[in-house]
Structure 1
C-alpha cells in the first residue's frame, strides 16, 4: 500500500508541474503583442523568394537593393569629359584641350537604388521594378556636389509580358564586359527606353518580340536646315533569340526602325515637307566558358541608322541619319564590335580586359570638320572582393577617336584624339 500511495503522489506532482508550465505559457501569450504579417510564419510564396519581405496587410513582397559607389579618376593624357567616359569628346591632338592634363576628379554619382515587388496573381507572379541613379542634371563640385536623381528603369512583368522602361531588346547584357568605368567600351548597343515585350520559349532558348519607343536622330547636313527636326511615325520593332547552353551563351537580334525628319521650309532651295528612310540593324553575341569561371565574349552589330544605340556617350555627331540638301533622309551605315575576357585569379580576385570599336560612314556629316569617323577603346582592370558585398579595384581606360574632318581649304583629313585614364573605385552592394 505504501508503494502504491508513493506512486500516486508522484503522478500528481508531475501533473501539477505540467499545469503550472501551461499556465505560464498562456499568460505569456496573452501579454505578447499581436503578431503582424511580418512576425507571422512566412507564407509559401514568401519562403520561395529569399531576400524579399512581405508588406503588412498584403500578399505583396518587397525587396530594396542597389549600391554605393565612389570613383576616383585620373586623366593622364587628354580628357573623357567627365567621370563617365564620353569617347566622342576626346580632344584632338594639338588642341589646347588635349594639353590640359593631368587632371583628377572624384564622384559618388553612380550610386544606385532600386525597389522590386512580387505579387501572386492568377496569371503568375506580377513583378515591378524601379531603379535610378544620380547621373541626372546638376552638379556643383565647388560646394555641394549635388546631382539629380534620374530614372533608369521602371517596368512591370507578368507571364510572358513586360511593359515599361527597360533595357532595349536590341542588346545582349550577358556579353557586356565588367568595367569600373561607367559607360564601358565602345562598339556594342545599349539603351533604356519604354517598350512592350513578349517572350516565349523557342528551342533551347527564348524568343522575344518588342515594340520600343522611337527617337529620330536625323540631323541636317547644312545650315539651310535650321528648323529640321526629327519626327517619329511608328514604334521601333525588335526581335531577339538567346540561349545559355552548357558551353556558354549565344544571342542574335534584329532591329527595324523608321527615321523621319520635318524639314520645315521652304528653304532657299524651295524645298519643304517631311521625308523618311528605313533603318535596320543586326546583332550577334557569343560567350564561351573557358577555364573555371572564366569567359571569353564577343559582340558585333551592323546596320544603317543605328547610331543612337551605340554605347559611345552622348554626342551630336553620332547621327543615325542625315537630312540632305534635297530634303531626303539617308540612314548612316555603321558597325561595331566588342571583345572581352574575364579571368578569375581566385575566389576573390578577378580581371576583365575589353576592346571596343565603332565606325560610321558619314556621307554628308552635319559638321564637316568634327563628325566622328571611328572610335576605339580599351579597358583593363583588377577587382577584389575583400569581404561580403564589397568590391574595390583599379582600371586602365584608353580611348582613340578619328574624325572625318576634310577641310577644303587645307586638304587636311582625319585628325586623331587620344586619352588615357586610371580609375579606382569602391562599391558596396545592399
Structure 2
C-alpha cells in the first residue's frame, strides 16, 4: 500500500520563515491537519515544527548579541546602567573618566511549546540569558527570565508562572541593555487572566509576587536584605494587584494600566528592634501610553510612529527599576528623636516621548526624551550626606536617546515592521540626575548632580 509522507522538516521550516516563497504554502492554522496532511508544519514563527502524531508544536528561539559601550564622562562599569545611579560630578568615578567595555552576556535562548486541548491551546515558555553575573566579568552566568504556562483561547486565557509584569512597558526602541528612565521590565511570578472585551480591546488582571522596598537612614532594604547579619525589616504580606486595558486598531495602540500594593515593615526580630514596630502602607499607580502611526496624518510618513507615556504613583518604586529601585517608600526609623516611626510611600511621576523614523525599510532611527520627579519627605534631609541612603535620592532625572539601526533583513508589511534575523545599531545616551537637598557627598544643601554621555554599539543575530 502507498504511504503518505509528510514534506521534509527543512521545507516546513522554510515555509514558516518565508511564507511567500512560490511553491510553498503558508502555515495552516493549528489543529487543521488531518492524518494525510502536513503534520510537521507549525504556526509558530522561527525554528518551529509540529511533533508528528501529536497536537503539539515546539519552537527554539533567541539571539546572540554583542554590545560595546564607551563613556565620554564618568566611569560607569556596567553595560546596563540605571539612571538613578550614574556617577556624580566630581566623584571618584567622574575623575577617572570614561572607559570602553565589550560583552555578550545578554545573549538569550528560549523554548516555546503549544498543544491543543479541549480547553483551548496550552502554551509554555522557558527563557533565559547569561546576564546573571557581574557586568565586568567575562564569566557569564545563566539566569531565568521567564517560565510560565498559559491555557485558553483568544477570548479568554489564564497564565501561571514567571512572566513579564502586566505593568511592563518598554515604550521606545533602544539598543542599550539597561532599564532606562520611565521604562519597566519587571519579570516575576504571577497568576494572570487575559480576555478580549471587544474588537481590538483586551483586558488583563494579575496577582503578582510582592517585594516591599524602602529606604531609611540605615540603608536600602528589601525582604532579602541582610541587616547587620540578621533578617530584614522589609516584609511581604499580600500580592501586588495589576490591571490593564489595551486597544489596538490599524497600528494605533493605546493603553491604561494601574496597580495596588501593600508595603509592610516589621522590626521585631531584626537589628532595628527595639522598639518593635509594625507599619503598613498602600502603594498605587496609574499610567497610560499611546503609539500613533504617522501615516494616519499623511501616507508619506510610511511606518513612522510617535509615542507618548505618562504615569503617577505612590509606592511604585520597584516597577521603575531604572528610576527608583529601593524607594517604594521612605521611613524615618532610626533618625534621632524618632519613636515608632513612619512608612511613607514615595510620590513619583514622569513622562516620555519618542519618534521612530524609517529612512528605509531596513534603516531606522529613534529619538526619545524622558523626565521623572520624586517628592521626598522633609526628614530625608537628615540622612547622612554621602551615605548610600542619601546618594540614591534623586529629585529630578532626565534622559535623551538617539540611535541608528540597520536591519538588513527588515520588512514593512501593512505598516507593521519586522526586523528579521539581524540588527546592527549605534546609539547616543545622555542622562542627568539632580539630587535631593542635602544628599550630595559634599557641599551645601541642594548641591549634587550627575551627567553622563555614553555611546553604545550592538550587533544582534536572531534565530
Count of aligned pairs: 393
User: How much does 1:129 deviate?
Assistant: 1.0
User: 2:362 is matched with which residue?
Assistant: 348
Tell me how far apart the structure 1 counterparts of residues 332 and 210 of structure 2 sit (CA, whole Å): 21
User: 1:95 is matched with which residue?
Assistant: 91
Structure 1 unaligned spans of 5+ = 1-25
Question: 2:283 touches 2:315 (CA, 8 Å); kept in 1?
Answer: yes
Tell me how far apart the structure 2 counterparts of residues 36 and 276 of structure 1 sit (CA, whole Å): 62
Report the 3-state secondary structure (helix = DSSP H, G, I; strand = E; otherwise coil) of the residue aligned with 1:178: coil
Report the 3-state secondary structure (helix = DSSP H, G, I; strand = E; otherwise coil) of the residue aligned with 1:189: coil
User: How much does 1:128 deviate?
Assistant: 0.5
User: Relative to structure 1, is the Cα distance of residues 46 and 120 closer, same or farther in structure 2, using a 3 angstrom cutoff?
Assistant: farther
TM-score, reference length from structure 1: 0.83
User: 2:22 is matched with which residue?
Assistant: none
User: Relative to structure 1, is the Cα distance of residues 296 and 140 closer, same or farther in structure 2, using a 3 angstrom cutoff?
Assistant: closer
Question: 2:56 touches 2:113 (CA, 8 Å); kept in 1?
Answer: yes
User: 1:413 is matched with which residue?
Assistant: 446
User: 2:398 is matched with which residue?
Assistant: 376
User: 2:223 is matched with which residue?
Assistant: none
**Alpha carbon RMSD of aligned pairs, Å?**
2.9
Whether 2:145 is the aligned partner of 1:152: answer yes
Report the 3-state secondary structure (helix = DSSP H, G, I; strand = E; otherwise coil) of the residue aligned with 2:249: coil
Deviations 1:372-400 (A, max 9, x none): 22221111100112345111111001111
User: 1:181 is matched with which residue?
Assistant: 176
Question: 2:65 touches 2:106 (CA, 8 Å); kept in 1?
Answer: yes
Whether 2:186 is the aligned partner of 1:191: answer yes
User: How much does 1:185 deviate?
Assistant: 3.0
Question: 2:133 touches 2:139 (CA, 8 Å); kept in 1?
Answer: no
TM-score, reference length from structure 2: 0.77
User: 1:16 is matched with which residue?
Assistant: none
Question: 1:271 touches 1:327 (CA, 8 Å); kept in 2?
Answer: no
User: 1:305 is matched with which residue?
Assistant: 315
Report the 3-state secondary structure (helix = DSSP H, G, I; strand = E; otherwise coil) of the residue aligned with 1:105: strand
User: 1:288 is matched with which residue?
Assistant: 292
Question: 1:188 touches 1:299 (CA, 8 Å); kept in 2?
Answer: no
Whether 2:461 is the aligned partner of 1:428: answer yes
1:48-127 mapped onto 2 (5 Å cutoff): 48-49=43-44, 51=46, 52-55=48-51, 58-127=54-123
Question: 1:219 touches 1:228 (CA, 8 Å); kept in 2?
Answer: no
User: How much does 1:153 deviate?
Assistant: 1.0
Structure 2 unaligned spans of 5+ = 11-34, 220-226, 295-300, 334-339, 384-388, 410-419
Whether 2:273 is the aligned partner of 1:278: answer no
Which residue of the other structure, out of 183, 188, 197, is the alignment partner of 1:202?
197
Q: Indicate the larger mover: 369-378 or 390-399.
A: 369-378
1:20-39 mapped onto 2 (5 Å cutoff): none
User: Relative to structure 1, is the Cα distance of residues 102 and 67 closer, same or farther in structure 2, using a 3 angstrom cutoff?
Assistant: same
Which residue of the other structure, out of 254, 258, 261, is the alignment partner of 2:258?
254
User: How much does 1:162 deviate?
Assistant: 1.1
The structure with the largest alpha-carbon Rg is 1
Question: 2:87 touches 2:451 (CA, 8 Å); kept in 1?
Answer: yes
User: 1:6 is matched with which residue?
Assistant: none
